[in-house]
Amino acid sequence: MARLSQKLKAFSKYVKNTRFNKISGNPQKRAICLSVLTVYPKKPNSANRRIARVNIVSLNKTANVKIPGEGISNLQQHSILLLKGVRVKDLIGVSLTAVRGKFDLLGVNNRKTSRSLYGVGKT
């Protein structure tokens, strides 16, 4: 007969790790921006990264979100944006990314390559 600790150890193999799952298994979620700020990344990288502090309304959670692309974004307080669960390795505590070109977050100006990632249509 197996002891309780042995049964728990065997069961722990099947428990899913939900460490980066901030949007509860959904592909995208809508959120409201609380503030926009810049953060300095981890050691080998040096450029300032723009992140937004957002409130995911349907889950009642707050999270840090990376704003992709170059240049200025039009994001401000109370803007609505779409999130996707892409981890940013050089920013600590940021595991979500905003989708450009959806809701209040506009696409990147004068983008020629990788347009679908930055919300730019064919010109």
> What is the DSSP pairing of strand 61-66 with strand 96-98?
parallel
Determine, yes or no, domain membership for 54.
Answer: yes
Determine, yes or no, domain membership for 112.
Answer: no
Distance CA 66, CA 23 (A): 15
**In terms of residue numbers, what domain contains 86?**
21-105
Confidence of residue 17 (pLDDT cuts 50, 70, 90): low
Provide the pLDDT for residue 10: 77
CATH number, domain with residue 38:
2.40.50.140
Determine, yes or no, domain membership for 12.
Answer: no
Confidence of residue 83 (pLDDT cuts 50, 70, 90): very high
Query: How many Cα atoms occupy the beta-carbon half-sphere of 85 within 13 Å?
Result: 13
Q: pTM for the complete prediction?
A: 0.78
The kind and range of the H/E element at 49 are: strand 49-56
Q: How many domains does the chain have?
A: 1
Q: Is pLDDT at 99 greater than 90 in this prediction? A: yes
Q: Which residue has the higher pLDDT, 14 or 115?
A: 115
Mean pLDDT of the chain: 87
